[in-house]
């Protein structure tokens, strides 16, 4: 049987050690610009990007089933490589960085995006708010 405590802990994600915060192991600040992005910001930015890609796909290629996926890959790879964020990420105030605090290279972004399309890697994340796709690409999503 589930109780409120176990359900609440599941919804809040992995527990941090006492006196630590998400992103501390990465050398990121606890709050403000450069701190790890919250789940709300991450999901919100992904929703915006998917909605934009679906609208563009409906307009450009309404009969091609994988058009939204292809447009998502192109949008994410191009904008994250050049700017460090997609349209949805910019609206939600987040960006992608590598372990050195810079924009990741396109190959790492391609790995991240491919895993993002599988959905499951994005649902599993560690105490630093990094999903499996972030861990595989050695990236982090931080606040702008």
| Sequential DSSP letters for 15-76 | PPPTT--TTGGGT--SSSTTSBPPHHHHHHHHHHHHHHHHHHHHHH-TT-TTHHHHHHHHHH
Share of the chain above pLDDT 70, in %: 89
Compute the average pLDDT of residues 119-127. 89
- Mean pLDDT of all residues in 37-48: 96
Give the whole-angstrom CA distance, residue 117 versus residue 122: 9
pLDDT (tens digit per residue) in 46-92: 999 999 999 999 999 999 999 999 999 999 999 999 999 999 999 99
Give Cα 11 distance to the centre of its chain: 18
Q: What is the pLDDT of residue 37?
A: 97
Calculate the average pLDDT of the chain.
91
For 12-42, b where at least 16 C-beta lie within 10 A, e where not — what string? eeeeeeeeebbbbeeebeeeeebbbbeeebb
Q: Are 23 and 29 in contact (CB under 8 A)?
A: yes
Residue 109 CA, distance from chain mean position: 11
pLDDT of residue 122: 86
Residue pLDDT, tens place only, 5-29: 544 454 455 667 777 899 999 999 9
Distance from C-alpha of 16 to C-alpha of 21, rounded to nearest angstrom: 7
- At residue 13, the pLDDT reads 58
CA angle 27, 32, 34 (to 5 degrees): 40
pLDDT value, residue 18: 79
pLDDT of residue 7: 45
């Amino acid at each position: 049987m589930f109780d409120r405590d176990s359900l609440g802990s599941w919804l809040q994600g992995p527990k941090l050690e006492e006196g630590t915060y998400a992103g501390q192991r990465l050398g990121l600040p606890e709050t403000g610009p450069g701190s790890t992005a919250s789940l709300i910001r991450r999901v919100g930015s992904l929703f915006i990007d998917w909605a934009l890609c679906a609208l563009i796909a409906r307009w450009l290629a309404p009969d091609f089933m994988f058009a939204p996926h292809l447009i998502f890959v192109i949008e994410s790879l191009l904008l994250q490589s050049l700017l460090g964020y997609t349209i949805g990420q910019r609206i939600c105030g987040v960006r992608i960085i590598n372990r050195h605090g810079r924009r990741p290279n396109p190959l790492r972004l391609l790995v991240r995006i491919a895993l993002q399309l599988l959905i499951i890697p994005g649902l599993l994340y560690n105490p630093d708010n990094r999903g499996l796709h972030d861990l595989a690409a050695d990236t982090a999503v931080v606040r702008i």
